[in-house]
Structure 1
Amino acid sequence: MKRVLITGANRGLGLELTRQYLERGDQVFAATRQPESAIDLNTLHEQYPDRLVVIGLDVTDPASLEAARKAVEAVTDGLDILINNAGILPGHPGSGLNDDPNTQYLGNLRYDDALQVFGTNAVGPLLVAQEFLGLLRAGNKSRIVSLSSGLGSLTLKASGSQYHYSASKAAMNMYMRTVAAEVGHYGLISIMVDPGWMRTDMGGTGAALNPTDSARGIIRLTDQLHAEENGSFLNWQGQHVAW
């Protein structure tokens, strides 16, 4: 049985990853900013009361990070998998920012939006990894999987939109690749994964990929990682993505 921490687990891909890990018999710590309103997570908890722990976590709040770590430590002495899934996409409902998509184009960009997106999408995963490093080092061949995006690829980026989101994912890639260089000395593996364009609240209904398939691929990829893949940028099918 793996011990898995998933951030942003209340909806979309995070919720699907939670469900699939539970279905195969693992223990999941599902983190979300507002546990009391996470209806689907709480329904899953009724099905798996012994293996699902729902915890509050705001990845930009130091006090919340510490409280979440203590909540996990109250249940287990180690983690085997950390999935950094929490993220926001400005211009979309639920981002916590202005939902007007026009704010994501040149001429309407705002400093405060940029700081919030970078704080959540780039710095957040770094601080989560830092906070839970002790538990990960105590785990069994632990993995840190940080969900990135093809929009974070400097090579592939070709659209004049999503400035903050794209840049935040590129920054996250650098943060977590740097983490990989350090935690590799402890026997841990840190990778970045493009989960694909999925039919979720963030991805929209026009996306081609079902989150069920992406989650299944990410879980398979995580299980099969080797030390030489530490620091890699891969897609959900295990193929390398251009930086």
Structure 2
Amino acid sequence: MKRVLITGANRGLGLELTRQYLERGDQVFAASRQPDSAADLQSLQSQYPDQLTLLALDVTSEDSLHAAHAAVAAKTEALDILVNNAGILPGHPGAGVGDDPGTQRLGQLRYADAMQVLATNAVGPLLVTQQFLDLLRKGRKSRIVSISTGLGSLTLKASGSQYHYSASKAAMNMYMRTLAAEAGHDDIVSIMVDPGWMRTDMGGTGAALLPADSARGIIRLTDQLHAEENGSFVTWQGKPVPW
């Protein structure tokens, strides 16, 4: 049995990862900003009352991070897997930032939007990992998986769109690659994963990849990680992504 913490677990990929880890018998701590209104998570908790713990977590709030850590530490002495999945896409419903698509175009970009996206998508995963590092150090072959995107690749980026989102994911890649160099001394493997273009609220209906397939690949990838893969950037199928 693995002890797994997943951020942004209330929908999309995070919800599917939560479901699949529960189905195989793992203990899951599912974090979201408003777990009381997360109907799908509430349903899963009724199915798996002994395995699933719902956590309130805003990755941009130090107080929220401390409270979530205390809640997890009260139930387990260690974590084996951390999935940094929480993130926002400007212009997407529920993001709370840049709801007008016009603000995502050159000439209309806003400082406040940029800072909020960077805080959530880049700094957030770093500080979540820092907060729970003590529990990860006590885990069994602990793994940190941070959900990135091909849009965060400097090599692949060729479109004049998604300024803040792309930059935030590139920044997250650097933060987590830097952390990997230190975490590796504790035999913790940290990787960044492009989950693919998924058919979710964020990805849209035009995407061909189902969240269940991406989640299945990420779980398989995480289970098979070796020390030499620490700090790598790969797809959900384990193929290298250029930085």
TM over 0.5: yes
Q: What corresponds to 1:56 in structure 2?
A: 56
Matched position secondary structure for 2:190 = strand
Query: What is the TM-score when the length of structure 2 is the normalising length?
Result: 0.99
Unaligned runs of 5+ in 1: none
Matched position secondary structure for 2:184 = helix
Matched position secondary structure for 1:177 = helix
Q: What corresponds to 1:103 in structure 2?
A: 103
Q: List aligned pairs for 1:83-232, cutoff 5 A.
A: 83-232=83-232
Q: What corresponds to 2:7 in structure 1?
A: 7
Matched position secondary structure for 2:83 = strand
- The C-alpha deviation readout for 1:82-115, integer Å capped at 9, x for no partner, is 0000000001111111322221110110000000
Query: What is the TM-score when the length of structure 1 is the normalising length?
Result: 0.99
- The C-alpha deviation readout for 1:161-192, integer Å capped at 9, x for no partner, is 10000000000000000000000000000000
Instruction: State how far apart, in whole Å, the 1-side matches of 2:66 and 2:30 are.
Output: 15
- The C-alpha deviation readout for 1:189-240, integer Å capped at 9, x for no partner, is 0000000000101001111110000000000000000000000000000000
Native 8 Å contact 1:90 1:99 kept in 2: yes
Which amino acid in the other structure matches residue 68 of structure 2? Answer: A
- Equivalent residues, number: 243
Which amino acid in the other structure matches residue 83 of structure 2? Answer: I
User: What's the offset of the Cα at 1:49?
Assistant: 0.1
Instruction: State how far apart, in whole Å, the 2-side matches of 1:52 and 1:60 are.
Output: 23
Which amino acid in the other structure matches residue 75 of structure 2? Answer: V
Runs of 4+ with >2 A deviation: none
Aligned CA-pair RMSD: 0.5
Instruction: State how far apart, in whole Å, the 1-side matches of 2:132 and 2:105 are.
Output: 36
Native 8 Å contact 2:98 2:104 kept in 1: no
Matched position secondary structure for 1:132 = helix
Instruction: State how far apart, in whole Å, the 2-side matches of 1:111 and 1:44 are.
Output: 39
Which amino acid in the other structure matches residue 118 of structure 1? Answer: L
- The C-alpha deviation readout for 1:25-45, integer Å capped at 9, x for no partner, is 000000000011011000000
Unaligned runs of 5+ in 2: none
